[in-house]
Each structure stands twice: as structure tokens, then as C-alpha cells.
Amino acid sequence: MPELPEVETVVRDLRPMLIGKRLAAIRRSKHQLRTKWSNAWEPRLIGSRIDAIRRRGKWILIDLQPQGLFVVHLGMTGQLTVTPCATPLENHVHLVCDLDAGAEQLRFRDIRRFGSATYHDDETAWNSAHAEDLGPEPFDLTALAFRQSLSRTDRCVKAVLLDQSVVAGVGNIYADESLFAARINPHRLGSDLSSGEAELIRRAIVRVLTRAIKYRGSSIRNYVGGSGLKGKFQNEFSVYGRTGEPCRRCQTKIERVRLAGRSTHYCPNCQKV
């Protein structure tokens, strides 16, 4: 599933291609995405000008003028790209928005259809409709707030990092990579971590995400940025997806276990309990 670095890359790619453009027409496939499309949204979307595009957690927020918010979640296999109209449609394209005079289109492709595209009158309306409370962005997360979130729970630290109400945007890949960078075992309970260990994790999250954004995220299966280019951070993984391979630090074999319902990768030597 695309996480913060992938979504941030899509937003940065699309920003210069979308801002100032108008949504001239919208066409949908016969298949529904995760959230059912409402025909009532189309009169509000068509004719709107794109004023800004930004990210919140793993969500893409497109601000419209004179009013409205177009919100996209990539789900597991979603791709949001600007494409010349003359380019043939690929399979699994579920939403096509003509831009301005029609030379280009904003296309949403999603093979597994776990993504979504919705309209809301404003961000307050989206927050009200959003089922998942979003915590602070990793770059805004304070040491005190993170320590308190850890100290109040007996969940394993891997589960805490996946909790979007604690920190928004971190998913399975970057939780594993951040814990390795901090040398913290993913089995450790949040309440058992010291203030110093909590700060190591918080700083590692920021460091890993910043580096992943620099590499345009991780293209493991279907992910591409808004320009259609793949990411390269998958070539930099220390533990994720490297089960049985030697640790880049100590040569111990990387192990995989299931924690918080997700496959979790770590080095048993560098990340001792």
C-alpha cells in the first residue's frame, strides 16, 4: 500500500501539472471503488479550478475553487497520473477527468479497487466523514506527544507505528525500516520503552521518510508517481522484504514474523529485545 513517501511523491509530481487547471468533464467506469461515487458530486466538480494539491497522512487533498475538496486515497494499487488524452486508456482506469481544453486528463487507475475518490464541501466535512482519526504528521510529531502515546499502551511498538491516530502516514514498510534504523525490536511494548528509545524511534521515522521521499518512494508492485515514474527506495531497504538475506550491518539473517496483523521484518542481532 502506498505510504507517506509515495503519496508525497504523487502530490509533488501533480502540483505543477494541476494547479490552475479546470475540471472540464468527468467519466467513470462501471465499477465502484471503496467508497461509492455520488452523481451529485459531478455538478460541483465540473468547472471547478484546482487551487492547490496537498497530502494529509496517506490521503491526497485537491482544493477546488470556488469551493470544494476532491479527496483521493490510493488504497493498495491506486495510480493518480496526468496523461495526454491521446494515450490509450489502460485497464482498470476508473475515473477520468478532462483538464481545461482537453489536451490532458487526470486518471485514477486502481487494479484492486481498494482506493477511493470523493468530493466534500470543505476539509471540515471531510474530517467529519472520515472514519479514521488522523494524528500528527511525522514531521510535526513532538517528542512529548510520541512518548505519551507509547507510555499509554501495552501494544507492541510496531502496532503503535501503524496506528494512524498516533502518527499519520506511516505504514508497514516504513515502520519496519524506522525500527531497524532506531535499533528497536518490533516486539517491544510501547509502555516498556524509555524516553530515550522513544526519541530514537521518532527521529528515525523522520530520517527514513525524508530519505524515501528523496528516492520517490518504493515501487514494489503497482506504485508510480504522478508523472508515471517509479520509485527507487525499494533498492535501499534494510529489512523490509529481505527475509533470510544478510543484515547490511552485521550479516545476521533478517527474520520475518507477524505482528499487528502484518508481516514484520527485523534483524535479531541489531534489534535485540
Active site residue 262: yes
Residue type, 63: D
Which residue out of 2, 5, 138, 186 is catalytically annotated?
2
DSSP 8-state secondary structure symbol assigned to residue 156 = B
Catalytic residue, chosen from 21, 44, 56, 58, is: 58
- Looking up cell 507505528 gives 161
Catalytic annotation, pick one of 183, 256, 262, 268: 262
Marked catalytic residue, from 3, 8, 104, 177: 3
The answer to whether 205 and 171 are in contact (CB under 8 A) is no
The answer to whether 3 is a known catalytic residue is: yes
Separation of alpha carbons 207 and 72, rounded Å: 26
Whole-angstrom distance, CA of residue 78 vs CA of residue 125: 24
Q: How far is CA 255 from CA 52, 76, 147, 269, in A?
A: 43, 24, 27, 10
Helix, strand, coil % over all residues of the chain, rounded to 5: 30, 25, 45
Q: Which of 236, 217, 235, 219 is nearest to 13 (CA)?
A: 217
Query: What residues contact residue 33 under an 8 Å CB cut-off, 6+ apart?
Result: 75, 94, 95, 110, 113, 114, 115, 116, 117
Active-site positions?
Answer: 2-3, 58, 262
